[in-house]
Amino acid sequence: MTVRLQGRPLWPAYLATFTFTLGQWASGVAIPLHVQSLGGSLTEAGTIAAIRFGLGALFSLPFGVVSDAWGTRRTLIVAVLGSAAVNLIPILAQSTGSTAPLYAWAILSGLTSSLFLPAIGAYVAGSAQEARRGSAFGWLTLGTHTGIASGPAVGGLAWQHLGIPQTYLVATGLALVALVGPILMRGAVRTRIDVRGLPTMVGLLARDRVVVGCWVAGFGIGLPWGAVSGLFPLFGTSIGLAAGSIGLLLALQSITNGLSRVPLGRLIDRRAVPPLATAGGCAAYAGITTLLGLQTGPIGIAAVFMTAILALAFTLMMIQVVISERAPAELRATGLGGYSTALSAGLGIGPFVAGAVAQAGGFGIGYATVAAMGLLVSGISAVLLVGARRTARVAA
């Protein structure tokens, strides 16, 4: 039985999302720099990023089912504690001189993220009023990308001024603050679902081509986004940028992303924006990303980041809102978990492909390759979404 709990406070979810991503990205920006300091290659850095996001692809959907069955609040507490502990693991790489602990960090960080994201999305989708769900996801992703913006800035400055072990200690402390959010949540939804019925549950959602089209768009936009997120610190150093400057540029991108979410959410709420626009936003982000590898200084990079990220923000907002409208309430975390799975698959494959191509032909070709892949996938999404309309599904 699903309990209807609209009207639950949303701000604890926003707080948890901000602090969770703050800790993860403070650690994440240091990982490729750490690989380089230990003598690793671009391919190795891309592989570590691919593992981190790829595990999200494998586990977000089943962990969404776990959240539906177990309760969002409990799931979030476990995810937050796990994330804080995981940020300590890279310290072992510094003491041993081996990159093996960085691979362990990638594995466990991917697992904690895939546990956190479907649960927090389901809490917001189930708590917000249908007519304001776009705005609610706007505030949620404002918290997400404020954390993503602040995390690299804090991590980059800590790396530059405090040292390598201290960077990971700072990330762990920041991650622990996220516990405040789920502790203050109340009335988290819990449904009786047999996890062994996962194939049937996924099949119910997969019959809706609009949901599938949103999943495909999530994969398509994840390809170039993963390449940017996973390899930009190394691209920045290759053109002479300091670690602090790299963190600040990533922060600028995420600030733009976060600040755009609330007005975009209101636009989606108030206008009949068709699901097909999701594929268009995916294609726009991929196209603009091709310009990143051609930049030689921070001004050009900032311009590319700020324009591309608006397309990305709109696309991800549409995916979340459309899935929340169309999925049954008892499968909402599962549907959003499928989106996280698709997005994480792109985030994992993108840096792996871009790293391997960049190793042989440079960053420009590497970014262009994954952008072309994103454009192709956006076309597939468009085929699935063409002619579709938004359909709100009201839970009993």
pTM, 2 dp = 0.67
Q: Both tokens of residue 22?
A: 């703050």
pLDDT value, residue 379: 93
Give me the DSSP letters along 260-274.
HHHHHHHHHHHS---
Residues 6+ apart with CB under 8 A from 173: 23
What single-letter amino acid sits at 211?
V
Name the band, by pLDDT with cuts 50, 70 and 90, for residue 208.
confident
* Mean of pLDDT values over 58-63: 72
3-state secondary structure 221-236: HHHHHHHHHHHHHHHH
pLDDT value, residue 187: 54
Q: Could you confirm whether domain 11-189+198-385 is CATH 1.20.1250.20?
A: yes
3-state secondary structure of 242: coil
pLDDT value, residue 2: 38
pLDDT value, residue 396: 31
Nearest to 390 by CA among 317, 319, 322, 316: 322
Name the band, by pLDDT with cuts 50, 70 and 90, for residue 129.
low
Inform me whether the pLDDT recorded for 1 exceeds 50.
no
Q: Which residue has the higher pLDDT, 81 or 29?
A: 81
Per the listing, tokens 């047999």 go with: 194
pLDDT value, residue 7: 55
For residue 60, report the phi and psi dihedrals to the nearest 5 degrees.
-60, -40
pLDDT value, residue 46: 72
Helices 100-127 and 332-361: angle between axes, nearest 10 degrees: 140
Q: Which residue has the higher pLDDT, 275 or 96?
A: 275
* Mean of pLDDT values over 135-146: 77
Per residue in 309-327, pLDDT tens? 889 989 988 898 888 888 7
Residue 28, CA distances (Å) to 34, 159, 162, 230, 233 in order: 10, 12, 16, 9, 10
* Mean of pLDDT values over 290-295: 86
Question: Count of CB atoms within 10 A of residue 129's CB?
Answer: 11
Inform me whether the pLDDT recorded for 56 exceeds 70.
no
Q: Which residue has the higher pLDDT, 283 or 297?
A: 283
Q: What angle do CA 152, 312, 110 make, to 5 degrees?
A: 50
Residues 6+ apart with CB under 8 A from 225: 285, 289, 312, 346, 347, 350
Q: Is the alpha carbon torsion for 104, 100, 37, 88 positive or negative?
A: positive
Residues 6+ apart with CB under 8 A from 60: 114, 117, 118, 337, 338, 339, 340, 341, 344
Contact 36, 29 (CB under 8 A): no
Inform me whether the pLDDT recorded for 306 exceeds 60.
yes
Inform me whether the pLDDT recorded for 222 exceeds 60.
yes
Q: Average pLDDT of the chain?
A: 79
Q: Which residue has the higher pLDDT, 390 or 395?
A: 390
Inform me whether the pLDDT recorded for 3 exceeds 70.
no
pLDDT value, residue 393: 45
Per residue in 242-259, pLDDT tens? 777 887 887 787 778 777
Q: What percent of the chain has pLDDT over 70?
A: 86
Q: Both tokens of residue 45?
A: 């850095």
Quote the CA–CA distance of 33 and 215 in Å, as a whole number.
32
* Mean of pLDDT values over 131-159: 75
3-state secondary structure of 271: coil
Domain residue spans of the chain: 11-189+198-385
pLDDT value, residue 395: 38
Name the band, by pLDDT with cuts 50, 70 and 90, for residue 23.
confident
* Mean of pLDDT values over 93-105: 81
Contact 355, 47 (CB under 8 A): yes
Inform me whether the pLDDT recorded for 82 exceeds 50.
yes
Inform me whether the pLDDT recorded for 281 exceeds 90.
yes
* Mean of pLDDT values over 267-275: 79
pLDDT value, residue 69: 65
**27-31, 176-180, 378-382 — most confident range:** 378-382
Q: b/e map of 296-317 (b: 16 or more CB within 10 Å)?
A: eebeebbebbbebbbbbbbbbb
pLDDT value, residue 382: 94
Residue 287, CA distances (Å) to 319, 348, 373 in order: 19, 19, 10
**136-150, 170-184, 362-376, 382-396 — most confident range:** 362-376
Nearest to 169 by CA among 184, 154, 179, 181: 154
Quote the CA–CA distance of 69 and 201 in Å, as a whole number.
12
